[in-house]
Chains A and B, each alone.
Chain A
Amino acid sequence: MKTLVSTFILSLFMLMGNIQHTIAQEAEKQNYVVLTKKVQQLKPILLAAKELSKEDGKNFGNFEIIVCGKEIGNLTDLETMKPHLKEAKKIGANIVACGFSLKKFNVNPKKLPKNMKVIDNGILHNLKLQKKGYLSLGL
């Protein structure tokens, strides 16, 4: 009888622990990072971000878009960038530029759209965010 009772109490504890674990996981925010080499891909990426923000609701965390590679100069075309930046702001997504690429392809960071963040190394940034649990997509 004693064994039965103790078994019961123990399983109850385990169950409670499991439930708490599930709740904790659900409450955690879902973050995303995309590494792209093409400014043209910003549109479909932002559409995906928008859909995910709807899907996740309150759990939608950060959505970081890193632009790198030899076409990084396209970021300085303010006309094309304007609608993307507006859309990103609306969704709560963040478009950042890879500093390494800017240097390599001689793009002046001052010519980037205002408030655009420059990170040192796009690849490193992506990997670091993945370490933090971000879901990643490298294009």
Chain B
Amino acid sequence: MKNIFIVLIALVSFSVTAQQQQITDDFVVLTSNPEQLKPILLAAKELNTSGDFKIILYGANVSPIKTADTEENRKQAIEQNVSLNVCKMSLDHLNIDPKDLPEEVEVVDNAFLTAFQLQKKGYKLLSL
């Protein structure tokens, strides 16, 4: 009888750990304002997550992502292993060719879709 209890406790604690592992340490921040890159990157640095950290830019003001205005931020993102993404629909709207983007900037088809898809994978979302 004692043995059964021990086994039961072991199994219960095992399943509890298994459940904890399902919570991911991944984050995604959605913003339409490139000026927010700096505070977001600072936040990412402070968090120092073991998981993934993505920033998605969308909207009518994304063009600085390819200019010198964001160069510092882009360098910082590479250093911190934060991925910078920009919405293809916004680029199309502004007639920006994805080929003209700096190579560290990735393109997603639709920022809103990506936001939901990542949440489904367990990412925590902050939309600014």
Contact = CB atoms under 8 A, between A and B. Distances in A.
Interface of A: 2-3, 6-7, 10-11, 14, 18, 30, 32, 34, 41, 44-45, 47-48, 51-52, 55, 135-139
B11 A48 contact: no
B3 A3 contact: yes
Nearest to B12: A14
A5 to B, nearest CB: 10
A10 B110 contact: no
Interface string B87-100: 10100000000000
A47 B7 contact: no
Interface size class of B (residues with CB under 8 A): 20 to 34
Interface stretch (B42-50, B65-73, B77-85, B111-119): B111-119
12 contacts: A3-B3, A10-B4, A11-B7, A14-B11, A44-B111, A44-B112, A45-B112, A47-B110, A47-B113, A48-B113, A51-B110, A55-B117
Given A6-B7, A10-B7, A139 B113 contact: no
B24 interface: no
B11 to A, nearest CB: 5
Given A6-B3, A10-B7, A11-B11, A135 B110 contact: no
Contact of B125 (A7, A41, A48, A137): A137
B120 A44 contact: no
Given A18-B15, A44-B110, A135 B116 contact: yes
Query: Most chain-A CB neighbours within 10 Å: which of B111, B116, B119?
Result: B116
